[in-house]
Amino acid sequence: MTEHKKIPPIYVTQPVLPPLEEFIPYLEKIWQSKWLTNNGPFHFQLEQALCDYLGVKHLALFTSGTVALITAMQALRITGEVITTPYSFVATAHSLLWNGIKPVFADIDPITLNLDPDRIEAAITPQTTAIMPVHCYGHPCDVDRIEKIADNYGLKVIYDAAHAFGVQCRGGSVLNHGDLSVLSFHATKVFNTFEGGAIVCHDAKTKQRIDHLKNFGIVDEVTVVAPGINGKMSEINAAFGLLQLKGIDDALQKRNILDTHYREGLTGVKGIHCLSVSGERVANYAYFPILVQPDFPLSRDALYQKLHDNGIFARRYFYPLISDFPMYRGMSSAAPANLPVARRIAEQVICLPIYPALEIQQIDTIIGIISAC
């Protein structure tokens, strides 16, 4: 077995940071105006710039994707049960519990790793009011089938689109599907504002309700119309987002190159499966997941440890399943027998490092370690 010299740590992702001298003028404007939050000029500029770039009609900025998810449920007055995926970050299901909503877990498709529409339909009960799918790793869900199911049963659809910045399908933005789509702008995402998020909606009336909810339900200084939350994005975060947006196309192009290099280098490595990329979508290459299958010489966890021992801090996104955590595992829908595909994928997946500053030589090192096992 080939030994590899240790290298400086490589993490699964790394935020894109523009030159500090480009950010300073934005900070100076904020300091001069003394407008730090509460719908300042940079906040409105970023909302409009994102609408233009993403091809959506209305977008409301938030302090985080999680707060945006919680508010999305309130905006649509969701109650009862919501069908969602166990294969995601915990914020997906936590946003339901925060609203007193019962998550109902359905299994995932083995190819896309998104909610399986057949399993969605089988999970519907008289208490179901909505579906919350996740565009996992930025791969679009089967939006047409989900829309048909929702229409047939009178359900709302809220997409957790935390991974799906800039992704397109059916000739337009994937964010235009469903009743609402929720983005995350966390520092690890393709586009980030340090911390942040957004809700995408279709009409001005819904946008107005969302804006009230993210500001404590306040309409004016004497009028409060709903039990809202403090979800407002600061001017500093918005300014950083405006600067990030200038370089997003270059960042996506670099991610594409890295994705291609991984695929070429891992082709033919027995027991390693790279998720397929659909020709019907425009990808953002947010993650590079591989599945470590039974015919690979090492177990998934052994390969994960080997990578870590060599300074490559890959992640097992998403392991454990959300349904395995204490606050969820007692639910009937969380039973392992109900989620065989999600459980198998969670036990095989490793997300390898991918970010614009990652070098081809570093990817070659990672591929070499995996190939030599």
137-183 pLDDT tens trace:
999 999 999 999 999 999 999 999 999 999 998 889 999 999 999 99
Q: Which residues contact 288 (CB under 8 A, 6 or more apart)?
A: 258, 259, 262, 274, 351, 352, 353, 354
As a whole-number percent, the residues of the chain with pLDDT over 90 amount to 92
Contacts 24+ apart (CB under 8 A), 182-188: 182/65, 182/68, 182/69, 182/72, 182/158, 183/65, 183/68, 184/64, 184/65, 184/66, 184/68, 185/65, 185/237, 185/241, 186/64, 186/65, 186/162, 187/15, 188/13, 188/15
Task: Pick 209 or 8 by higher pLDDT.
Answer: 209
CB atoms within 10 A of CB 301: 13
341-355 pLDDT tens trace:
999 999 999 999 999
For the cut 70, the answer to whether the pLDDT of residue 280 exceeds it is no
Q: Is the pTM of this model over 0.85?
A: yes
Q: List the domains of the chain with CATH numbers.
A: 20-246 (3.40.640.10), 248-371 (3.90.1150.10)
